[in-house]
Structure 1
Amino acid sequence: MSNKEATARIKINKLLEAAGWRFFPEGSAPANIRLEPSVTIKSSDLEALGKNFEKTGKGFIDFLLLDTKGFPLLVLEAKSEDKNPLVGKEQARKYAKSQNCRFVILSNGNLHYFWDLERGNPYIITSFPTPDSLTGYRKVSPNPDRLSEDQVGDDYIVLTQRPNYSSEAAWKNEAERPGYIQANKLRFLRPYQLRAIHALQRAVKDGKDRFLFEMATGTGKTLAAAAVIKLFLRSGNARRVLFLVDRLELEDQAKKAFAALLSADFQTVIYKENRDDWRRAEIVVTTVQSLLFNNKYQRLFSPTDFDLVISDEAHRSIGGNARAVFDYFIGYKLGLTATPRDYLKRFDKANPATRDPREAERRLLLDTYRTFGCENSQPTYRYSLLDGVKEGFLINPTVVDARTEITTELLSEKGFVASFSDDAGEDREEAYKQREFEKRFFADATNQLFCKTFLENALRDPVSGEMGKSIIFAVSQNHAAKLAQILNSMADRMFPGKYQSDFAVQVTSQIPDAQLFTINFSNNNLLGSANFLPAYKTSKARVCVTVGMMTTGYDCTDLLNLGLFRPIFSPTDFIQIKGRGTRRHNFLEQLFDENIKEGVTRPQKTAFKLFDFFATCEYFEEKFKYDEVIKLPRPQGKGRDDGGDTGPVTPGGIYAYPGADILEMIKEETIGLNGMKIDRMFFEKFEDTVRENEMIAAAVESGQWDRVIDYVNREVFDKPEEYYTLDKLRKAAAVDRRLTLREILEKIFGLIPRFKSKDEQLEEEFAKFVADTKPEEAEAIPAIKTYFKAYVTSDQVRHIIESRQFTDLATNPVFSTRDFRAVPEKYRTLIPEYIKDYVSLNQFAA
């Protein structure tokens, strides 16, 4: 028997035990693994299963996994490491049918396939399904014909909300019907949403199991997703659905939406709020980030737990390593995205070295299409912003292209050239570009001018006449704070006595309750309501100044103005930001005085303004007409001599110590893996510090990691009391790789049991690579893994590969010429490309 056979068997044994399968009884739980009938073992023989990879008359010893009643549930066909597991496919099918089993696993210890004989082809998995999950999965009997033939009309969701609506008097009376629909919050599918569902059904009929809806912001992707969920659950093709979002605040938003649409038939839960009883629900909502961190998805879920996985904002939530979460689960997959492929049409694909930011977007979208089975870059269904505007469902912006003299120079090829004297009295010049605005180049006069222009030209509320609700996007949190202050000062002069610094609100991660602010703004009660008209419910705060919190998935239909007070280079970010204003709205829905209603001449939202101070629209070459261009007054002195500037900047800002230095003593001490006592005590003291901080504890509990990390960096690190730093904490943790601050905090709050070693982390990264690339060269998996690990961990190996100085491998102690030759040719370039795109090398530094 070969070592490869023994190694495969040992690995398979461990994977089975990790998934909860039992070779021997444990208490009242009977064994649920049986070897082929001709083979019997005793408890003392378990170790020998790997060492003596015995052959029987039927071949290698195979596993028969049993259900709770002791009946055959799954056949596991084992092959040695140097064989592709798929070679045992027909042998396993024959054995499974003889045992009346529907499920098969094909494995060589490194590569594993799960095969549902009633559904189609084997599917690569990275861990084995648990007994409970597989038992539940068996309850779903796939019926693609029913899925594709089920009749879906415009009242498909309404029939769940109110099954007998068509027989009620208020519906039959056409005059009462609009009020009846509004009072009962009935959601009829629009024609384009129906077309999306029907396109999915046709795809199912064609044998596809992955789908992508590319629908513009504001077109109701969540409603379409609800219809898809009902279709799968109702037709018996799914018993449980996983809905992945890319931000914490979207969890609650999705749960409320599905509850409003489907709660009469199906239950929705947020995973983190129902960790112990999520299995009782048909729809489970969670963030992809929470599952990805520390590979939580593999510990919390089995590959067979969900029959349909839906990724909201798919271009974000399956980007990078997050795709491993998506691919982990067996079953149908649906992606929802608002990012239009048209934005990249002029990108030069032939120049991969370009620094054009659209390169990252292109690759991200190509990944999205590939993940959802759209190899020709055509989604299952597409409905663009222009389609929505043409059919009257969406609104295009009125673009206000406004540029000051300074921003014009910042946008120029040369940039803005500042002249000043350095510390030595020498005259200096330095050029600044648009990317450096508010980061390295600050002009108070420019910010003042931005705010003045915005306030004087913004759309007004059609009911109250006050400034229309607005969102401004700033460069940074500090920039947001400055802008909010300027806007509040100006509002005091423009609207005396109406606002008490409540006009503009900073909504960024460093602000307590910032997430609640976004909800209250949408619900029209941020810092109060009805400030101008008592009977009109609209937020007292009129402007939210943010950086990135209100970009994707934020619904606030009565927005009338958007301000781009920062340059934007990402097409995805631009389309998402612009999409905040494209939804239609009837302002009379917020007015409760019938007498006032009669005097409102234009209650429908038919336009919104997009203030563009950095030529963003020109940069993205938008097709629609920019029908309003405002010429700004010429700033005096270019913002340098009017007292509003922060003064000249000294490049480098380096202080040179003029004295000498000598070596006074030298001492060597080798520190073991446990580190020095002072380091351990330092770490424990930091643990106490953060645990006792109520703000940190509350934010960790609610999963607001951006806020937690920002707060610790600002308020805990580098303080004179203890002078905590991330480098000191890494040293104190005594782990053989570079920990992130989030990992450290998760360990402190008990969210992870321990820090993983470098090799454990490497194994997990390699498992993601296998799940993504699905290698067929099973015999080469060990060589591929060796190459993968060496490239990740060794600067020298990376340099040799990238410079193509392969002869240097002959003397390389980590990865030799022989190792390189064992790697199949296509993986020699595929692995470096994958690692550059998806693996953070920083975490593997010592």
Structure 2
Amino acid sequence: MENKKVLSERDICTKYITPALDAAGWDLQTQLREEVGLTSGRVIVKGNKAKRDEKSIRRADYVLYLKPGIPLAVVEAKDNNHTVRAGIQQALDYAAMLDVPFAFSSNGDAFLFHDKTLHDGELEREIPLDAFPSPEVLWQRYLSWKGIASNVEPLYAQDYYPGKPARYYQLNAVNRAIEAVAKKQSRILLVMATGTGKTYTAFQIIWRLWKAKAAKRILFLADRNILVDQTKTNDFKPFAGAMTKIENRTVDKSYEIYLSLYQAVTGTEDAQNIYRQFSPDFFDLVVIDECHRGSAAEDSAWRAILDYFDSAIHLGLTATPKETTEVSNSTYFGEPVYTYSLRQGIEDGFLAPYKVIRVDLDKDLGWRPTTGLVDKLGQIVEDRIYNQSDMNRSLVLTRRDEAVAKRITEFLKATDRMAKTIVFCEDIDHAARMRQALTNANADLASVNSKYVMQITGDNQEGKLELDNFINPRRPYPVIATTSRLMTTGVDAKTCKLVVLDRTIKSMTEFKQIIGRGTRIDEEHDKLWFTILDFKKATELFADPAFDGDPVVIYDPDPIDPIVPPDDPTDDENDDGSDGTDETTGGTDETDPAPGPGRVKYVIETVPVYVVNERVQYLGPDGKLITESLRDFTRIQVGKQFVSLDAFLQAWNETDKKQAIIDELEGNGVLFDELAKEAGKELDPFDLVCHIAFGQKPLTRRERAEKVKKQDYFGKYGDTSRKVLQALLDKYADDGIENIERIEVLRLAPFDQLGSPVELMKSFGGRAQYETAIRELGRSLYQ
């Protein structure tokens, strides 16, 4: 009999678990997938660098499916040195992610079966290898658990469109929507964060309902041309000849899938409401993309269409469900059948985390004109206090534009001047001025290519023609886009690394949509995170942590007794694009907001504007922003892990890899890069902890390296070994401990001039002796 104890986990899978599943009737080609990646691993931002946290990658050993796209169970394997139940908690976590009721754990001796359907009255029980349930058994229990009646089973089991594999949350969203239809639910809401593939999800829902003949004719509504066109040419392409876009106010009733701007089928006069050319029961399904932008309001143009096609199933898609005293998505659609939040998307590694830099300008905090001051147009400026809410609405300080442009440019120069950037402005006039200010601030690059900065607004034809180039990762220009509302939604700018907020935003819905312009990840083009540069305190709207996720770093200026502005009657907080739209632009009618009753807009060119002093807030491990100083926060976090200096030193000296302790502290929110900047010295994380948390005098990395060189540490080594260790000390002085602990460093200069990694380790007597020497070097460094 084979000794299972010597087998690896993979051997247990191959020799025992897979054969058991095969014998139970599971098709190994179509119903079983091994090593199924569920998440990509959260992106960890360190200074201006980012990397995937491999420890956060979730991967299931087995996922069992009725057919592709319809998961039923998770099986977690362990080697035979573990008990049969050792993997059950892991399996349950993955089962919850996949929305399935069955989880199994095995070590090759038997299975522990967790059955949420309670079919036999037991939640968990151990079963032999040869008693694994068949696909049909689990499928029938699954249907019963879901409450799916036998007469609609074919609909729920309808095939997905083959091709691009769906992520776990996309499968959940599609299956929940199909389940709702199967249960005769006619109003369905899906909430999915921007960048998580709402349109692809909608396509799979429509495909399955269409193929199952549960929806023979479908209307897909959006409010931006770019949304409709992207949908038609990308995700909906498989519909081919069955699909048409309604345009030029003409209707052809020979198609089955219709895409339309709501502006294209509605108008102020009955003759323009061409949707009435269809009979009220023509469509079986109406899908409303970005449904927060108007469908929930009873007096909106969208609602007129939905009310007309009242007998159809209405599926709303949004990243930001709208809930105000006037408008409610949940009142119209009901509670979401599935929600995938920005926070979860960041945690799973599918969406980009972000940093926030808050910048206050002195005049925004309160400015009063001198008596009799005349503006550019010859108007006497009203004598009152102007503040942030007035800027670029009732008061234009052109040198404020220059100050904002200068700060944006400083940021890009410090990071990447070719990083795609969107600057959200108050209105079209502001966007035009900001384009000019940014062009002047970046004259060296703008003179080489005039499209380095472009105004992309609803009234600017040249700018709108460049929108596709801005979105395209392979087109370098435009780099900076100034806009007002046109780019708020529907702009799939995967490589956007900087979002600038210089617009008054009081609507959480609009704020989330704007932030969504940066949340997509594009690893091919090194886009793993993005920055929000906030000049209008808009990021104070990060008030929904359960949905939004939290920033990595917050810059926030010192308060200088800001003056609370009066209510501004011009502030259209609830502008959701449900009116004032134009079919030709396919977006909100961007016009300059009127200054307000009894007010005019003053334009002043002579008043200087400056950035005020800034202070920093940091994100804590509990997901809340830390308001105390970075040093205080560091002391608290280190104190939670190490009760004393002795405890820290003991842990540091006992670990073979110092980087492991550094990674753990960084995982708890300690920002060593920022601490080193504050200290103004090249301090090792070891010295930063000892100095900040325990009050010890620090040494720079170079001082530590020189101290070791002066000791009689190298005497016992040969010539080549001494050169390697001396080079490692220089590497430590320049870059820190991480580099000298990695064997891969031996492939880099100057080590490659001394010999190959194998030859260099042989000079120490072999790999084991080399690793011993590195540990001794570490102890010498940190004595």
TM-score (norm: length of structure 2): 0.48
When you count strand as a share of all residues, which structure comes out higher? 2
